[in-house]
Amino acid sequence: MGGEPGRGRAVGKILVARGGEGKGGILPCCTAPAMAESVDSCSHCGKQGAGLKRCSRCKQVSYCGAACQNADWKGHKKSCALPVPLADVADSLHVAHVAGDWRGVLKWEGRMEELMANQPDQTCEWVLRVFARAHTMGLNSTRSDNHGRSFVGLEERRIPLLGSLQRFRDQGECMYHMANTLKVLSFDSKASTWFQRARDVGAAHGFFSVESKACRGLGLLAMMDGRREEGVQLLRNALVAAELNELDDPEYELGALDSLIEALFNTHAIDEVEPLVLRYREAATAMSGKMGGFCRLELYSLLCSARLHEVPRLCTPHWDPLHTARPLPPPWPNSASLLKVAPRPRGARCTC
């Protein structure tokens, strides 16, 4: 390595003499600073006063002479490195972000504060978003809780910036994703708080897509805690908000229907499930038609229908299989025939 003693080479305008540690060799990091006077202390002996010389490579430590530098080199060489110019850091960060290289992004996390220093809110928000996205990808790739905690910390800093920029939909989405991560980390009470804040932001500014997702998160947490009635009601609210979503995106309605159907299956509310399954099937069929083929959403709706056919006889306590006054739901295709229904045209892809 070029920074180690004993290798003769020129560093800046200083010629490095050959010699080893403890042999009086002058190291490449013994260049005097531009200003002779300094109030730093020697990194080895602690001496203070003028005449100290900074490490010419990392510019982070000072020494009173070659003897102290030689003595301290064994420990300092592990952290001594040429600082990368901030402009190059920003360029490298942008390239790694666009390429989806989360490891390439996170290697610059130690320079994050420098990148945000004296920058407008919009730039600071972008930097935080880039590192937060990298931690999300790291969490999905490694399942390490450290990435989740780092993501939450970055999003907490990003939320007020989005408010000052009046990007309220992004602020609500940020709260929702942070709540989901807290849920993954098993911090359910904190997750509930942030789901509620996301819901409030969506309701206050008319972003029904955010409100729907937040209600869905709250409903699923309530179901997990055993508060089934509250959970079902929240999921109904999520479905109502999804119908009004400003993006006119059917995926919000499908997501809310998915969660509500599962919740009603678990509570054996079969009378309410059947029309929702039919509604889900219609929406999924319409979406698969737009995508040019049979998709997993339509398959899921058919499987729900098949499950609905079995649940009244097997799970509902008050259902008497010998009682004929209540007709059974119409038969649905079994799993073998589902594979033969509406084959996707050659070359078409399912993007759901």
Residue 52 near residue 42 (C-beta atoms within 8 A): yes
Task: List for the chain the helix, strand, coil content (%; round to 5).
Answer: 60, 5, 40
What's 326's DSSP letter? S
With cut-offs at 50, 70 and 90, classify the pLDDT of residue 59.
low
Q: Which two tokens stand for residue 140?
A: 């999905």
* pLDDT score of 341 more than 60: no
In the block, tokens 């892809």 appear at 349
By C-alpha distance, which of 35, 45, 40 is closest to 70? 45
Q: Which residue did the predictor score with more confidence, 286 or 70?
A: 70
DSSP 1-65: -TTSTT---EETTEEPPP--TTTTPPPTT-PPPSSS----B-TTT--BSTT-EE-TTT-S-EESS
Provide the 3-class DSSP secondary structure of residue 183.
helix
Q: Which two tokens stand for residue 263?
A: 């919740």
Residue 4: the pLDDT is 40
Residue 173: the pLDDT is 95
In the block, tokens 């200083």 appear at 14
Instruction: Note every long-range contact of 175-178, with CB atoms under 8 Å and residues 24 or more positions apart, other chains counting.
Output: 175/201, 175/214, 176/210, 176/213, 176/214, 176/217, 177/136, 178/151, 178/152
What lies within 8 Å, CB to CB, of 273 at 6+ separation is 261, 264, 265, 308, 311
Q: Which residue did the predictor score with more confidence, 127 or 63?
A: 127
Residue 80: the pLDDT is 75
* pLDDT score of 213 more than 90: yes
* pLDDT score of 263 more than 60: yes
- Percent of the residues in the chain that have a pLDDT greater than 70, as a whole number: 68
Q: Is 147 exposed, middle or buried (0-12, 13-18, 19+ CB in 10 A)?
A: buried
Lowest mean pLDDT segment, chosen from 32-41, 99-108, 241-250:
32-41
Residue 261: the pLDDT is 85
Q: Could you give the CA distance from residue 303 to residue 307 in angstroms, rounded to a whole number?
A: 6
> pLDDT, tens digit, for every residue of 137-181?
999 899 888 999 999 999 999 999 999 999 999 999 999 999 999
Q: What does pLDDT average to over the chain?
A: 75
Find the mean pLDDT for residues 203-210: 94
Q: Which two tokens stand for residue 24?
A: 């009086």
In the block, tokens 């993954």 appear at 184
pTM of the model: 0.65
Residue 340: the pLDDT is 43
Residue 10: the pLDDT is 32
* pLDDT score of 27 more than 60: no
Residue 298: the pLDDT is 60
CA 221 to chain centre: 20
